[in-house]
Structure 1
Amino acid sequence: MSRPFVKMNGAGNDFVVVNALDRPFTPTTEQVRALGDRKTGEGFDQLISIEPSETGDAFMRVWNSDGAMVENCGNALRCVGWMLLEAGSGERVAIDTLGGMTTASRAGDHRVTVDMGKPRLDWSEIPLSEEMDTRNIELQVGPIDAPLLHTPGAVSMGNPHVVFFVDQTPDDAFVRGSGSLVEHHPLFPEGVNVGFAHVLAPDHIRLRVWERGAGLTRACGTGACAALVVCARRGLTGRSARIDVDGGELHIRWDEATDHVFMTGPVEIERTGTLPF
């Protein structure tokens, strides 16, 4: 039996979204991979299923294009939040994920703010394979005496992130080479999303992300949140910044009163279609 879907993106990070509120959606790993293939399938960074929730307005399930189920996706939360807001009458919805509960609220025409919750800063919460200060973790890429990258920060935004600081925005080859190397480093037992942050001003960051299980992506919402938190903890930025990603811009604020991270950004509907199962 076929399933309708909506193709959406948030700042270029693209998704196939399936409504599973009334009928379960349980694709196999092979089916997710086939659908995610940009040459032979629908093509996406993540496949999203909107499911019933006992504690929120809906539960959002996320698969990366490699077929692996993951905890969360910030840009997808905005897209799912927008769909739920359009279907209801309120200004705020609660969305449960494997990474925890979040809320989404309107921030203008096709713009949504998501409360991403508190960043998880302890080494065991990310998780790392050994205890260390997550402001400056002991990791480098390249020769020991002249590393290309070194001493990144780490944080979990419901999924694990490591963020390196760079003096200029890296090209695709550098992001692919370094990102794929670090993604499966033994320091990260669950794998890790790899960010490359070029701080342009105390309230402005240029970010590129190698996404765990998806590769080079045009935007990563949790990655943008992670970059702001890591940069602020190092004193490189304040607690609020514009994050320029390949697909557009996101606005991230780490609220001092609540310790929650809020992400605001665009939502776009690309097309609709039907899955062949």
Structure 2
Amino acid sequence: MMTSPLAGRPFVKMNGAGNAITILDLRGTTLSVSAAEARAIAHHHSTHFDQLMVIFDPRSKDSDGFMRIFNTDGSESSACGNGTRCVSWHMLRDHNKNRLVLETAAGLLECRREAEFAFTIDMGMPRFEWQQIPLSRAVKNIDHIDFSYQTTNGKTLNDPACVNMGNPHAIFFVDDVEAYALDVNGPILEHDPLFPERANISLVKIVSRDHIIQKVWERGAGLTLACG
């Protein structure tokens, strides 16, 4: 059995709003990460992650680094705000500057240090056109899509709102986020034909104008404590 060139390399384990983040810094090397290697890292108890953030040397003069983001199943994500905040801390901790720009598959992300452990990420403009999310069919109202799904425990999820923030998101507004067995129904919805690139599935209960309860099934990662 061949040993991966990544074996023995240092890594950083962090947590961003509940997301388990592993950072692998490959700047200054010619190494890369395959989908199989990402899955192996995810399945090891010491390096398990919701997202693996891999940092490379910048590809353009406009950025401080290029970043690839892996899910636990080895698929890649175009954006992860919580993971990017962790990467910002890692890259800025030994520098006097408070701003950096990271390039991802979704484009350039501006990162700012507000305090020692407080970072703000500009994720860019949300995309609301059905082709940009993308969806498999045209819809007139992206805030209230004509869609109905019968869950395995006899419930119904109707009419999600959809948006792309680097990844496709489908948000179902419900009265009880625990009532829909998201651990079982999340992966089914993630792979629904409506979402040709799969989707993050969120159940959201609005408690008040400044309080929501959310439960998330992340595309390629499963149930996580934070997303979107």
My pick for the range that moved more, 87-96 or 14-23, is: 87-96
1:31 aligned residue: 37
SS in 2 for 1:3: coil
1:136-156 deviations in whole A, cap 9, x for unaligned? Answer: 11222218xx95210010000
Opposite residue 47 of structure 2, the aligned amino acid is E
In the other structure, the counterpart of 1:130 is 137
Could you tell me whether the CA contact under 8 Å between 1:106 and 1:113 is conserved in 2? yes
Percent identity of paired positions between Structure 1 and Structure 2: 39
Once residues 51 and 162 of structure 2 are traced to their aligned partners in structure 1, the CA distance between those partners, rounded to angstroms, is: 23
Gap runs ≥5 in structure 1:
224-277
Q: Deviations over 1:176-212 (max 9, x none)?
A: 1221111000011000000111111112211111000
- Taking the aligned partners of 1:218 and 1:196, their CA distance within structure 2 comes to 12
**Residue pair 1:25, 1:49 contacting (<8 A) in 2 also:** no
Query: 1:109 and 2:116 equivalent?
Result: yes
After superposition, residues 1-277 of structure 1 pair within 5 angstroms as: 1=5, 2-37=8-43, 39=45, 42-53=47-58, 54=60, 55-132=62-139, 133-142=141-150, 148-170=156-178, 174-220=181-227, 223=228
Q: How big is each residue's C-alpha offset from its partner over 1:112-168, in whole Å with a ceiling of 9 and x where there is no partner?
A: 11111100000000000111021111222218xx95210010000011100000112
Moved more, 149-158 or 95-104: 95-104
Tell me if the contact between 1:119 and 1:155 (Cα under 8 Å) persists in the aligned partners: yes
Higher helix share: 1
Paired amino acid for 2:73: D
Q: What are structure 2's unaligned runs of at least 5 residues?
A: none
Partner Cα distance (1:15, 1:24) in 2:
23
Is the 8 Å Cα contact of residues 169 and 207 (structure 1) preserved in structure 2?
A: yes
Q: Distance in 2 between matches of 1:28 and 1:18?
A: 13
Amino acid of the structure 2 residue aligned with 1:156: N
Aligned with 1:163: secondary structure? strand
User: Normalised by the size of structure 2, how large is the TM-score?
Assistant: 0.89
Which 4+ residue blocks in structure 1 deviate beyond 4 angstroms?
Answer: none
- Identify which of structures 1 and 2 has the higher relative contact order when contacts are C-alpha pairs closer than 8 Å and 6+ apart: 1
Tell me the distance in 2 between the aligned counterparts of 1:194 and 1:212.
8
Q: Distance in 1 between matches of 2:30 and 2:117?
A: 28
2: distance between equivalents of 1:24 and 1:74?
Answer: 26
